[in-house]
C-alpha cells in the first residue's frame, strides 16, 4: 500500500479526523488523554492512533511506558493540515 492509499484509509473515519484535529490543537497527547477528552474508548483511540501513525500522519514518541502521539513532519503532512484547517 502506498502513502496515498494509507492516507485515504486513515482519513475514512470521523473519529480519526477528530483525533487528528485534537492532536493538532494540543501539540501531542497520550492515548488516555485523547480517549478521555474525545470521550471515546481507550481501545478505539489506540486503534485509530495506530492507523494514523501507519499512514505517517502522526508520530509515536515513547516516554518510558507512555506513548505520546504528535503530528508527523513532512511536506504531505503540511498539505493535509492546510486542507483540514482551511488554510492554503
8: confidence class by pLDDT, cuts 50, 70, 90: confident
The mean pLDDT of the chain is 85
How large is the average pLDDT for residues 3-19?
79
The pTM (predicted TM-score) of the whole model is: 0.78
Long-range contacts of 55-60 (CB under 8 A, 24+ apart): 55/3, 55/6, 55/7, 55/9, 55/10, 56/3, 56/6, 56/7, 57/7, 57/10, 57/20, 58/20, 58/23
29 DSSP 8-state letter? E
CATH of domain 3-85: 1.10.10.10
* pLDDT for 64 beyond 90: yes
Amino acid at each position: 500500500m502506498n502513502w496515498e492509499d494509507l492516507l485515504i484509509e486513515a482519513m475514512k473515519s470521523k473519529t480519526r479526523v477528530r483525533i487528528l484535529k485534537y492532536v493538532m490543537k494540543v501539540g501531542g497527547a497520550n492515548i488516555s488523554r485523547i480517549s478521555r477528552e474525545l470521550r471515546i474508548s481507550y481501545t478505539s483511540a489506540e486503534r485509530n492512533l495506530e492507523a494514523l501513525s501507519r499512514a505517517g500522519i502522526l508520530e509515536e514518541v515513547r516516554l518510558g511506558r507512555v506513548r505520546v502521539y504528535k503530528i508527523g513532519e513532512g511536506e504531505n503532512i503540511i498539505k493535509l493540515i492546510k486542507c483540514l484547517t482551511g488554510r492554503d
